[in-house]
Amino acid sequence: MNRKFIFLVIVGAFVALLPFRSPAPLIYSPGEGWFYEKFGISSKWQRDRAKDQLDVAEQAFTNRDYNVTLQAAHRVLKVWPLSDYAPRAEYLIGRCLETQGRDEAAFKAYQNIIEKYPNSDNYKEVLQRQYEIAGRFLNGEWFRVWGYLPLYPSMDDTAKMYSQIVTNGPYSEVAPHAQLQIGAAREKQKDYDSAVKAYETAADRYSGQPDISADALYREGLAWQKQAATAEYDQSAAEKAIAAYTDFKAIFPDDKRVPETDKAIVTLKAEQVRGNFAIAQFYEKGKKWTGARVYYNEVLQLDPNSPYAAQAKQRLEALKPHINNSPAS
């Protein structure tokens, strides 16, 4: 069942349910989505002053009455958008949306704080909460249509969330980790080139933080290694993985992952030998004798003691008559 079909089913169900009377007015707020306003309670939560209205929202949040919290907080933003109480109201909206599992809407609410109220006292916590939300999507949470209906997981949207966090505070406490997680999300997409770029950015930008730069360089090697495993006739990824691991060992010789990189390099070099032998066979099968000779020689140069080396020597001998008799090969 593809995503388009699922989406059509959801839309159909939504339309089919429209004739039924809603138990309460459905209120829409840009950025945060929809919420219900119960009948007959407006006089109980509405206040004439911004501070008093925020107090209602705070008390409702403490009592876990998230519906009233949303109503009171939204009223603060609607009636007193420039007041000192607006950032806290937006923050409470984000918290409520999180408790309701509406993480994407919560992320947007927190983003409103960063864009509209950059001097907010909650700035660091807001970035941390955005980071935690992105982490849930990285772990497989589905994005929702209309803020309610789970529709699909998306590593592309997740990477954009992490990128937004880095943009919000490039030198904040969470930014280096967010930059690394951009790479993690791209790896889950199997977009290894983009993953490597994210790790390179992390290593360069946060070079003064050894833990981050070490992790970035190690992950860069891993990403290249994963790409090498998918590239039957392209050995450049293996070469880049070896180079990244070699740099990692040279810069961080005491890192506990060095033994793992040693094993990875051995595996990658063996894969290079195998890959070059396979490329040579491909050229030989296509009667591209000179090309085959180049790659059989590469096998010998990479590891003259490998199991493929003896076969490469045999094939080189067998190629000589073809090469001698076909100058244009």
Determine the structural domain holding residue 318 and report its residue range: 278-329
Whether 140 is covered by a domain: the verdict is no
Residue 136 inside a domain? The answer is: no
What values do phi and psi take at 112, rounded to 5?
-60, -40
For residue 118, give every residue at least 6 positions away whose Cβ sits within 8 Å of its Cβ, in sequence order, or none. Answer: none
Q: What is the pLDDT of residues 187-205, one digit of tens each?
A: 999 999 999 999 999 999 9
Q: Residue 178: which of 205, 154, 150 has the closest Cα?
A: 205
The answer to whether residues 225 and 268 touch, using CB atoms and an 8 Å cutoff, is yes
Average pLDDT, the chain: 86
Report the percent of the chain where pLDDT is more than 90: 59
**Residue whose token pair is 């941390």:** 128
Domain end, chosen from 121, 148, 172, is at 121
Residue 310: inside a domain, yes or no? yes
pLDDT at 122 over 90: no
Amino acid at 153: P
67 in any annotated domain: yes
Tell me the CA distances in angstroms from 155 to 135, 210, 285, one per residue in order.
11, 27, 40
pTM score, two decimals? 0.78
CATH of the domain at 106: 1.25.40.10
Tell me whether residue 289 is in a domain.
Answer: yes
**Model confidence over 244-284: pLDDT tens digits?**
999 999 999 999 999 999 999 998 988 888 888 888 899 98
- Residue at 321 is within a domain: yes
**Domains: count for the chain:** 2
Instruction: Choose the final residue of a domain: 93, 121, 149.
Output: 121
Final residue of a domain: which of 121, 150, 175? 121
Domain membership flag for residue 246: no
Q: Is 224 domain-assigned?
A: no
Sequence-separated (6 or more) residues with CB below 8 Å from residue 311: 277
